[in-house]
Homo-oligomer: A and B are copies of this chain.
Amino acid sequence: MSEAMNIEQLLEIIDHSEAAVLHEYVTDVNAVDVARCAQQLDDRQLWKLCYLLQSEDLAKVLEQAEEEFAVRMVQSITNDELIDVFGYMQKDDIADLIGNLPIVQRKALINQMLEGDRKIICTLMDYPPDSAGGIMNTGYIALEEDDTVSRGMAKIRQIANRSEVIETIYVVNRSRQLVGTANLRVFLTADKNTKIKDVMKEKPVFVHPEDDQEYAAKLVSRYDLNSLPVVNHRGSILGIITVDDIIDVIVEEYNEDILELGGVNSEETLNSTLQESVKHRLPWLLVNLATAFLASLTVRSFESTISQVVALSATMTIVTGMGGNSANQVQSILVRQLSQDEVPGSKLLKCFRKEILVGMIDGMITGFVTAVIVSVLYQNVFLGIIILVAMTGNMMVAGTFGFLVPVILKKLGVDPAVSSSIFVTTATDVLGFFIFLSLANVFLPYLL
């Protein structure tokens, strides 16, 4: 693709006050690059950039800027100028932006808006940012089912420039309830006097404004939609969610899952300060410390056994380490599957049995390899046999807990990505040490 703008180019434009060049450059696509580069500007440079940008271009850049940076940009222009810029922005983006501003400025801005805009913005701001209502926007085309295709087409021409999506037309009845969707193709090709209700598709897929954004993303992904209507409980259409917002939701949720699986707060990024990073990670480490002590106390209760056969202390970590790895595998598969679909109970039971069997087989194979090496290394076949049995047992523990913990957390309404690893690892650590060391204790005479 064509080369993106870099910070040096932007600085040159600012230094030479090249407003015309800037206007030429800021198309929809390039606004992304400007927003990205401008993040690196200092306050004075940013102020000058905002001064050079026309309202329409400033709106494009604002829509593409990350939250924090958008607030910084807004701080470098006056409220009057901002109201002007809002004229070129989508209502949902305005609501998001205003929601991040200090309360005093927020109120001042809302009061300066036109009556109609104010109402829409306030409604949008009422929905939680991660709900369907929070990400919907109001630029859609709705036509009445009894209108003809030619009348519909005339209306589409009128609204087209203010609508986010034109490919999907929403069809409503006289009470403004959503009854179907029609594709713009149909309007281009159908007979002019056909009624819209005769060319529409019935039973549209929709969400309610309070539904979770993740649910909305799932519907769009499953049904390959271009946009998803948001309707209230009366069935009236309130707005639409566009597919670019859905992609943002999917990426956001993906990042959350990755971080949470690793025991990191999903708000942390590479940009977080030292204090923030320590604050975000410490709680999770302290929880882990508690479980580490549980495992440590298990080992401690076998101290007299270990003092007689020191080889146990070097070999016991293999049993728990491998159990942890195996549990991780099971857990990853379940976290992924549970985040995508409902898995029916009968299938779960079948999979559960399979996971325990996989644990047993993998445990026997890796256990056998370990047993051979340990037997040679320590010149003791019994130690080898004990580690084989313990590893097989602990991998079955891994299968059991790696499966059950995510399933149970999901049933309890807790996100399995966040907290399942802590329970699973505790199980494989504590039970791994326990199985291995108590076997060693029982067969102590053979190990001496």
List the interface of chain A (C-beta within 8 A of B). Answer: 1-2, 27-29, 32, 156-157, 160-161, 163, 165-167, 184-185, 188-189, 201, 203-207, 219-226, 243-244, 246-248, 250-251, 254-255, 257-259, 261-264, 268-270, 274, 277-278, 281-282, 284-286, 288-289, 292-293, 295-297, 299-300, 303, 306-307, 310-318, 320-322, 325-326, 328-329, 331-337, 340, 343, 347, 351, 354, 357-358, 361-362, 365-366, 369-370, 373, 377, 429
**Chain A's interface: helix, strand, loop or mixed, by majority?**
helix
Contacts of A362 in B (CB 8 A): 278, 281-282, 285
Closest 8 CB pairs of A and B: A262-B332, A313-B313, A224-B244, A299-B314, A300-B314, A160-B185, A254-B254, A292-B321
Q: How far is the CA of A189 from the CA of B297 in the complex (A)?
A: 76
Interface pair A263/B156, CB less than 8 Å apart: no
Q: Which residue, A268, A316, A358, has most C-beta atoms of chain B within 10 A?
A: A358
7 A–B pairs (Cβ distance < 8 Å), ordered by A: A32-B223, A258-B335, A269-B333, A270-B351, A274-B357, A274-B361, A288-B322
Across-interface contacts of A336 in B (CB, < 8 A): 255, 258-259
* Distance in Å: Cβ of A39 to nearest Cβ of chain B: 11
A343's nearest neighbour on chain B, judged by CB, is B270
A369–B289 CB distance below 8 A: yes
CA of A161 to CA of B185, assembled, Å: 7
Bound CA span A377–B250, Å: 48
If A259-B332, A261-B261 are given as contacts, then 15 extra A-B residue pairs at C-beta distance below 8 Å, sorted by A number, are A27-B201, A157-B189, A224-B247, A226-B243, A243-B244, A255-B336, A281-B326, A281-B358, A286-B369, A288-B322, A288-B325, A295-B318, A307-B307, A312-B313, A313-B313
A284: which B residues are within 8 A, CB to CB? 325, 329
A289 surroundings in chain B (CB, below 8 A): 318, 322, 366, 369-370
